[in-house]
C-alpha cells in the first residue's frame, strides 16, 4: 500500500523543471483564488479577535495590550483602501499567505530545484495549520511570513556571504516580533545557528552580523516605551502565558493537549516525520549542511519553550506553528535525498491523510454543518455578531446621539463596534474578576458622566452589578437569541442605563 502511495511523491520529484514550475503557478493561483472566495463569500462573521484588531486599527499605536502593532497597521491600510468590510479586514492575511507560498516555493527551488519545490509547497499547504493560514486576520499570517523571510535571508547571508542580508534578516525578525511576541525566540535560534557553524562563529562580531541582531533588538523599543507608559501591563499579560500562577507542580496533562493539537494541525504522520527529521538533524549535526543547521536551530528554541510551558499550563495549539517552518523544510530535504525511498512513501501517505483532514475541516468552514451539534463546531464562534450589531444599531437609531454603548466583554464590544452600522465607540465595564483588555487601557468612560447608556449583556444577572453606576436601569427589548446548527449558542440582553454617575469601575488585578 505504502509503495503505491509513494508513487505520487516519486512522480512529483521526477517532474521536468519547466513542468513543475508551471504546475506550481497553476496550483498557486487556484489555491489562493479559493482562499479569496472562502473569505469573501464566507457565511460567517469576523471572529472576536478580528473585530478586536480592527478596533485597534482605529487607534494606531506602537503596541497594544497583548500584541504588537503590525496587525493593526495592516488592517488600517486595507480598510483605508477598501472600506470597513469583512473582506478588507481579512485581505492582509490573504496577501501574507500568498507571500508565504511564494517564499516556500522559491526558497525550496533555490535549494533543490523546481520539482522538489513543488513537493515542498504541497507538503506545507496540505497541513491544516498552513491550509487555513490566510483565511482569518490574526497575527499568525504576518508572523509566519516574516519568520520565513528571516530564515531565507539568514541562509543567503551565511551561505553566499551577502552582507546586506544580515540586517535585512534582522528587520524581518523585528517585524515578526511586532506581529506576535512568539517571534522573540527566533533571534535566539539564529544566534545558536551562528554559534553552531564554525564558518560563521568567527564572524559573530562582524558588522553585518551585529547589525542583524541590533536591528532585531529594535523590536524591543516600542514594546518597552508602550509598557512604561501603561504600567507594564503588556509584559505582565504575556508573562502569564509563560508562567502559571495557578499550578505550582508539573503535569503532563497540557503536554498531551499540546501534542494532540499538533496532530490535528500538522497531521499524525507528518508530525511524527517532522520529529524524526529533527532527531536526524541532531544526530548528523557534524555533517549537516548550512541549510539543515539553520532549519534545525530555527525550530528547536520554540519547541523547547512550548514543551516547558506545557508542563505547568495550557499552550494554545497555534503557538508552535512557526517552528514547523524549519521542521517541514528539514523533512522536505530528507525526502528529496535519494537514499530515503521509504520515507518518501510515508510522507506521501501523510500528505494524503492531511488532504482528508483538511477536507473534513473545510466542510463547516464552507457553511455546511451536516446536523452536527453547535457545541462540536469551532465555527460557532463566528456566528451571530452581525445580528448583535444590527440589534444595537436599531436601538441607537431610536435614541438621542449622546447615548453611549456599554458591555461587559471585550469580544462583544469589538463585535458591536464593527457590525453596528455607525461603528460606535464601545466601553467595557468591569463587573467581575476578569483579566484586563485593550478597552481598559483606552478607558474614557468617565467622560460620559450624566449621559444614558445602551447596555448589552450576555447574562441578565450581570445587570445588578451595574445598578450602582446609574440612577436606574430599564430593559429595552426582548433578548436576542443567536442560533447555529439548531442550537442556541448565545443570548444578549438590552438595557438602558439612566444617567451614568461617572463613578469609575473597580481596578483590575488580573492581566
Other beta carbons within 10 Å of 198: 7
Place of cell 513543488: 118
Nearest partner of 458 among 407, 417, 384, judged by Cα: 407
Ranges of H-type helices in 311-384? 323-336, 341-365
Residue 453 phi, psi dihedral angles, 5° rounding: -125, 140
pLDDT in tens, 102-132: 999 999 999 999 999 999 999 999 999 999 9
Residue 298 grid cell:
530555527
b/e map 223-233, b = 16+ CB within 10 Å = beebeeebeeb
pLDDT at residue 150, as a whole number: 98
pLDDT at residue 6, as a whole number: 66
Is the Cβ–Cβ distance between 192 and 185 less than 8 Å?
no
pLDDT at residue 2, as a whole number: 56
pLDDT score of 169 more than 60? yes
pLDDT in tens, 397-423: 988 888 999 999 999 999 999 999 999
User: What's the CA dihedral at 463, 469, 472, 473 to 10 degrees?
Assistant: -30
Per cent of the chain over pLDDT 70 is 96
pLDDT in tens, 197-238: 888 888 888 999 999 999 999 999 999 999 999 888 888 777
Q: What is the pTM of this model?
A: 0.94
pLDDT in tens, 274-319: 999 999 999 987 788 899 999 999 999 999 999 999 998 888 889 9
pLDDT at residue 244, as a whole number: 57
pLDDT in tens, 449-496: 999 999 999 999 999 999 999 999 999 989 999 999 889 999 999 999
Domain residue extents for the chain:
381-500
Is the Cβ–Cβ distance between 426 and 407 less than 8 Å?
yes
> HSE (CB half, 13 Å, CA atoms) of 347?
28
Which residues are CB-contacts of 94 (< 8 A; sequence separation ≥ 6)? 32, 35, 36, 39, 134, 135, 141
The whole-angstrom distance between residue 72's C-alpha and the CA centroid of its chain comes to 13
Residue 202 grid cell:
568567527
Question: C-alpha angle 65/66/72, rounded to 5°?
Answer: 85
pLDDT at residue 204, as a whole number: 87
How is residue 432 annotated by DSSP?
Answer: S
pLDDT score of 79 more than 80? yes
451 conformational bin, left if phi > 0, alpha if psi -120 to 50, beta if neither: beta
d(CA 324, CA 322): 5
Nearest partner of 479 among 498, 469, 492, judged by Cα: 492
Amino acid at each position: 500500500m505504502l509503495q503505491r502511495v509513494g508513487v505520487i511523491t516519486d512522480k512529483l520529484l521526477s517532474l521536468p523543471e519547466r513542468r513543475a514550475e508551471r504546475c506550481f503557478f497553476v496550483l498557486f493561483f487556484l489555491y489562493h483564488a479559493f482562499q479569496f472566495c472562502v473569505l469573501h463569500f464566507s457565511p460567517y462573521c469576523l471572529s472576536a479577535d478580528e473585530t478586536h484588531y480592527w478596533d485597534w486599527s482605529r487607534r494606531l499605536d506602537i503596541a497594544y495590550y497583548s500584541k504588537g502593532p503590525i496587525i493593526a497597521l495592516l488592517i488600517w491600510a486595507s480598510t483605508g483602501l477598501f472600506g470597513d468590510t469583512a473582506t478588507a479586514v481579512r485581505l492582509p492575511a490573504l496577501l501574507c499567505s500568498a507571500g508565504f507560498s511564494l517564499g516556500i516555493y522559491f526558497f525550496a527551488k533555490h535549494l533543490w530545484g523546481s520539482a522538489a519545490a513543488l513537493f515542498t509547497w504541497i507538503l506545507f499547504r496540505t497541513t491544516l495549520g498552513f491550509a487555513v493560514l490566510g483565511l482569518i486576520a490574526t497575527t499568525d499570517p504576518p508572523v509566519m511570513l516574516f519568520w520565513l523571510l528571516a530564515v531565507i535571508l539568514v541562509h543567503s547571508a551565511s551561505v553566499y556571504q551577502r552582507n546586506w542580508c544580515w540586517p535585512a534578516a534582522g528587520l524581518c525578525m523585528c517585524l515578526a516580533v511586532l506581529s506576535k511576541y512568539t517571534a522573540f525566540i527566533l533571534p535566539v535560534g539564529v544566534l545558536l545557528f551562528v554559534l553552531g557553524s564554525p564558518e560563521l562563529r568567527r564572524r559573530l562580531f562582524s558588522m553585518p552580523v551585529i547589525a542583524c541582531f541590533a536591528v532585531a533588538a529594535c523590536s524591543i523599543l516600542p514594546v518597552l516605551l508602550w509598557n512604561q507608559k501603561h504600567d507594564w501591563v503588556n509584559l505582565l499579560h504575556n508573562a502569564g502565558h509563560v508562567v502559571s500562577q495557578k499550578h505550582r507542580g508539573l503535569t503532563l496533562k497540557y503536554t498531551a493537549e499540546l501534542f494532540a493539537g499538533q496532530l490535528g494541525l500538522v497531521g499524525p504522520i507528518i508530525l511524527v516525520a517532522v520529529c524524526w527529521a529533527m532527531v536526524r538533524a541532531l544526530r548528523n549535526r557534524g555533517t549537516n549542511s548550512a541549510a539543515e543547521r539553520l532549519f534545525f536551530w530555527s525550530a528547536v528554541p520554540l519547541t523547547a519553550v512550548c514543551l516547558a510551558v506545557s508542563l505547568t499550563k495550557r499552550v494554545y495549539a497555534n503557538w508552535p506553528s512557526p517552528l514547523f517552518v524549519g521542521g517541514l523544510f528539514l523533512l522536505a530535504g530528507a525526502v528529496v535525498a535519494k537514499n530515503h525511498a521509504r520515507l518518501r512513501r510515508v510522507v506521501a501517505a501523510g500528505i494524503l491523510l492531511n488532504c482528508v483532514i483538511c477536507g473534513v475541516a473545510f466542510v463547516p468552514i464552507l457553511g455546511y454543518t451536516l446536523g452536527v451539534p453547535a457545541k462540536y463546531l469551532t465555527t460557532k464562534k463566528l456566528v451571530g455578531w452581525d445580528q448583535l450589531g444590527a440589534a444595537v444599531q436599531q436601538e441607537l437609531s431610536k435614541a438621542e446621539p449622546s447615548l453611549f454603548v456599554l458591555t461587559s466583554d471585550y469580544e462583544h464590544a469589538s463585535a458591536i463596534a464593527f457590525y453596528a452600522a455607525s461603528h460606535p465607540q464601545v466601553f467595557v465595564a468591569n463587573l467581575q474578576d476578569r483579566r484586563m483588555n485593550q478597552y481598559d487601557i483606552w478607558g474614557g468612560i468617565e467622560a460620559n458622566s450624566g449621559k444614558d447608556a445602551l447596555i448589552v449583556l450576555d447574562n441578565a444577572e450581570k445587570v445588578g452589578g451595574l445598578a450602582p453606576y446609574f440612577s436606574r436601569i430599564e430593559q429595552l427589548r426582548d433578548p436576542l437569541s443567536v442560533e447555529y446548527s439548531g442550537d442556541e449558542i448565545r443570548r444578549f440582553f438590552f438595557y438602558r442605563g439612566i444617567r451614568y454617575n461617572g463613578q469609575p469601575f473597580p481596578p483590575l488585578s488580573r492581566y
